[in-house]
């Protein structure tokens, strides 16, 4: 037999001495005024939306409904509507969400990622306070943007930043927000993709990062690369036209982290040489560059980056005198080579196939290594007496080749000053000196220029601003 709840309650109220009602149960529990029993059906409360619930006029204390907006049972406690678990009207409740819970940080396209956390206050009063915790790899920085103390609603960002030198791997970040006794938790997982690591562990020449490691770094591919020159390792250049180390043929949008704990020593320019057919001199050769960039780079330098020194200039003179009585013409030649620049620049000599002047002194080569000593120019400074038949020739030369420059320094110019006297002893007449003159001074070879410590080629460089340097760590100019 079916009865509506209203009929049941009415019968209960009209039945004298009967204090309990049971539906589908003959003997209700003594503690229950109304007990329902069923294994197929439940109690259906009034189903109201939040606006409908709030529109109830003067609700009865204890009035209970099912809130279809929040999908929860709520009741009126005489002051406010409470969800079934809320202890009072001031109990703080809120919602927290994240726009995307996972990211990958590749450090090539960007060096940071972030997620936005949204917090909404849905019940009670009091501020909502948020925080986060994580154990990131070394060098990974986690920061917040925006206020993490929220009154009613708001957002803030969790930012994860990692440059090329930072560690890699998964970084789980636990985000916690609390208000009163209520707490919510979210996770933000960031995977930091590892960079390709290139280690230079032994001395080398003209090191091309991409070319030497083409299997790991295919030409033209956009990559994150960390280059580590180990302590005690020296990377030289055996040609001033080639840098000691170049990043090579990477995609120009790649990013390189360069850890230099060793020495990059650019080749010095060679000293100027000389030929008999040359009147004047040849300039010294230019020094080489230590580091050549082909993409954006972050530099951390605890070693040495030295630009090659310029070579010294050469100078020489070929002279034929006017006809002298009895002996005719005198032909003389003088030449000196320039010194080589640091490091390992070669002294100027007579090039292969050249004809040495009557008097020639080659320049010396520079030594190698961090403490390279530049070469010196050749010199002819000792008076030279020559006797030919009845003639006495005295040559007083001061011919000096240009010295090579130290690291990041230009070479020096050459100079020449020669005094020539020719005296002839003629019977009866005596001794006459038809020639007593300074020989013409030719234009000597100029000095070679130094190379660059770093040639950027228009690529951004962090860690070493543009400009000249002369320190133990860097010698030379960082130039665009």
Residues 116-128, mean pLDDT to the nearest whole number: 88
pLDDT exceeds 60 at position 37: yes
∠51-54-56 over CA atoms, to 5°?
A: 115
Residue after which a domain boundary falls, among 126, 161, 192? 192
69-73 own/partner pairs: CB under 8 Å, 24+ apart: 73/45
Which of the pair, 181 or 235, is modelled with greater confidence?
A: 235
- pTM beyond 0.85, yes or no: no
Residues 281 and 395 reside in one and the same domain: yes
**Residue 476 belongs to a domain:** no
CA-to-CA dists, residue 133 to 12, 129, 185, angstroms: 60, 14, 11
278-287 core/surface letters (b: 16 or more CB in 10 A; e: else): bebbbbbbbb
**Residue 401 belongs to a domain:** yes
pLDDT exceeds 70 at position 353: no
78-87 own/partner pairs: CB under 8 Å, 24+ apart: 81/53, 81/54, 83/123, 86/123, 86/124
Q: What is the pLDDT of residue 279?
A: 66
Residues 317 and 176 reside in one and the same domain: no
Q: Are strands 430-438 and 415-426 parallel, antiparallel or unpaired?
A: antiparallel
**Residue 479 belongs to a domain:** no
**DSSP-based three-state secondary structure for 127:** coil
Residue after which a domain boundary falls, among 31, 60, 91? 91
Give 8's pLDDT tier (boundaries 50, 70, 90).
very low
Residues 289 and 390 reside in one and the same domain: yes
**DSSP string across 161-225:** E--TTS--EEEEEEEEEEETTEEEEEEEEEEEPPPEEEEE-S-EESEEHHHHTTTTS-TT---EE
Report the chain's C-alpha Rg in angstroms: 46
User: CA 329, CA 423: separation in Å to the nearest integer?
Assistant: 13
pLDDT exceeds 90 at position 17: no
Residues 150 and 236 reside in one and the same domain: no
Range of the domain at 245: 199-470
Other Cβ atoms within 10 Å of 368 Cβ, number = 17
pLDDT exceeds 70 at position 351: no
Residues 204 and 328 reside in one and the same domain: yes
Residues 161 and 261 reside in one and the same domain: no
Write out pLDDT tens, residues 357-414: 478 899 999 999 999 999 999 999 988 888 877 788 888 989 999 999 999 999 999 9
Write out pLDDT tens, residues 60-77: 999 999 999 989 999 999
**Residue 480 belongs to a domain:** no
User: CA 419, CA 397: separation in Å to the nearest integer?
Assistant: 6
**DSSP-based three-state secondary structure for 5:** helix
Residues 250 and 110 reside in one and the same domain: no
User: CA 348, CA 271: separation in Å to the nearest integer?
Assistant: 4
Instruction: Judge whether 378 and 401 are in contact, CB under 8 Å.
Output: yes
Residues 345 and 230 reside in one and the same domain: yes
Give 190's pLDDT tier (boundaries 50, 70, 90).
very high
Residue after which a domain boundary falls, among 148, 166, 192? 192
pLDDT exceeds 70 at position 452: yes
User: CA 126, CA 131: separation in Å to the nearest integer?
Assistant: 16
Instruction: Judge whether 273 and 282 are in contact, CB under 8 Å.
Output: yes
User: CA 78, CA 275: separation in Å to the nearest integer?
Assistant: 113
User: CA 471, CA 469: separation in Å to the nearest integer?
Assistant: 6
Residues 216 and 165 reside in one and the same domain: no
Q: Tell me 274's DSSP state.
A: -
Residues 124-134, mean pLDDT to the nearest whole number: 90
Q: Partners of 180 in the beta sheet?
A: none
Mean pLDDT, the chain, rounded, equals: 89
Residues 269 and 373 reside in one and the same domain: yes
Identify the weakest region by mean pLDDT among 121-125, 126-130, 172-176, 291-295.
121-125
User: CA 457, CA 55: separation in Å to the nearest integer?
Assistant: 73
CA-to-CA dists, residue 307 to 178, 245, 465, angstroms: 59, 12, 16
Residues 318-340, mean pLDDT to the nearest whole number: 78
**Residue 434 belongs to a domain:** yes
**Residue 478 belongs to a domain:** no
User: CA 207, CA 247: separation in Å to the nearest integer?
Assistant: 8
User: CA 254, CA 247: separation in Å to the nearest integer?
Assistant: 10
**Residue 48 belongs to a domain:** yes
For position 106, which CATH number holds? 2.60.40.10
Residues 221 and 109 reside in one and the same domain: no
Domain total in the chain = 3
Residues 143 and 183 reside in one and the same domain: yes
**Residue 428 belongs to a domain:** yes
Instruction: Judge whether 102 and 189 are in contact, CB under 8 Å.
Output: yes
Identify the weakest region by mean pLDDT among 139-143, 390-394, 413-417.
390-394
392-397 own/partner pairs: CB under 8 Å, 24+ apart: 392/422, 392/423, 392/424, 392/425, 393/330, 393/420, 393/421, 393/422, 394/420, 394/421, 394/422, 394/423, 395/332, 395/419, 395/420, 396/420, 397/334, 397/359
């Amino acid at each position: 037999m079916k009865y509506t709840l209203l009929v049941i309650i009415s019968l209960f109220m009209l039945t004298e001495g009967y204090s309990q009602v049971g539906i589908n149960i003959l003997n209700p529990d003594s503690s229950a005024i109304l007990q329902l029993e069923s294994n197929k059906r439940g109690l259906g409360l009034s189903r109201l939306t939040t606006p409908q619930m709030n529109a109830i006029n003067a609700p009865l204390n204890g009035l209970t409904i099912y809130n279809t907006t929040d999908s929860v049972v709520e009741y009126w406690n005489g002051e406010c509507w409470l969800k079934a678990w809320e202890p009072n009207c001031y109990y703080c409740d809120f919602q927290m969400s994240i726009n995307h819970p996972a990211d990958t940080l590749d450090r090539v396209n960007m060096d940071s990622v972030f997620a936005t956390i949204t917090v909404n206050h849905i019940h009670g009063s009091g501020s909502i306070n948020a925080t986060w915790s994580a154990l990131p790899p070394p060098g990974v920085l986690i920061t917040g943007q925006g206020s993490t103390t929220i009154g009613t609603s708001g957002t803030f960002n969790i930012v994860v930043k990692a440059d090329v030198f930072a560690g890699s791997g998964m970084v789980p970040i636990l985000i916690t927000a609390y208000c009163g006794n209520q707490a919510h938790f979210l996770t933000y997982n960031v995977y930091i993709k590892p960079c390709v690591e290139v280690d230079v562990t032994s001395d080398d020449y003209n090191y091309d990062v991409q070319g030497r490691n083409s299997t790991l770094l295919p030409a033209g591919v956009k990559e994150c690369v960390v280059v580590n020159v180990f302590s005690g390792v020296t990377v030289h250049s055996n040609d001033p036209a080639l840098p000691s180390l170049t990043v090579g043929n990477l995609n120009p949008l790649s990013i390189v982290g360069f850890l230099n704990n060793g020495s990059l020593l650019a080749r010095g320019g060679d000293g100027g040489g000389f030929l008999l057919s040359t009147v004047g001199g040849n300039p010294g050769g230019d020094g080489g560059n230590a580091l050549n960039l082909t993409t954006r780079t972050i530099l951390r330098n605890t070693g040495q980056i030295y630009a090659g020194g310029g070579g010294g200039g050469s100078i020489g003179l070929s002279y034929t005198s006017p006809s002298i009585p009895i002996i005719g013409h005198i032909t003389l030649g003088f030449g000196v080579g320039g010194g080589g620049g640091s490091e390992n620049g070669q002294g100027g000599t007579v090039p292969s196939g050249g004809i040495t002047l009557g008097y020639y002194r080659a320049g010396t080569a520079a030594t190698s290594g961090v403490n390279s000593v530049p070469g010196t120019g050749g010199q002819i400074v000792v008076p030279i007496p020559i006797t030919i038949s009845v003639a006495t020739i005295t040559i007083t030369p001061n011919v000096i080749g240009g010295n090579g420059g130290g690291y990041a320094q230009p070479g020096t110019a050459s100079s020449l000053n020669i005094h020539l006297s020719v005296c002839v002893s003629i019977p009866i007449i005596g001794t006459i000196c038809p020639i007593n003159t300074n020989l013409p001074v030719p234009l000597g070879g100029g000095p070679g220029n130094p190379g660059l410590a770093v040639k950027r080629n228009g690529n951004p460089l962090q860690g070493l601003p543009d400009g000249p340097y002369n320190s133990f760590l860097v010698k030379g100019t960082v130039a665009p």
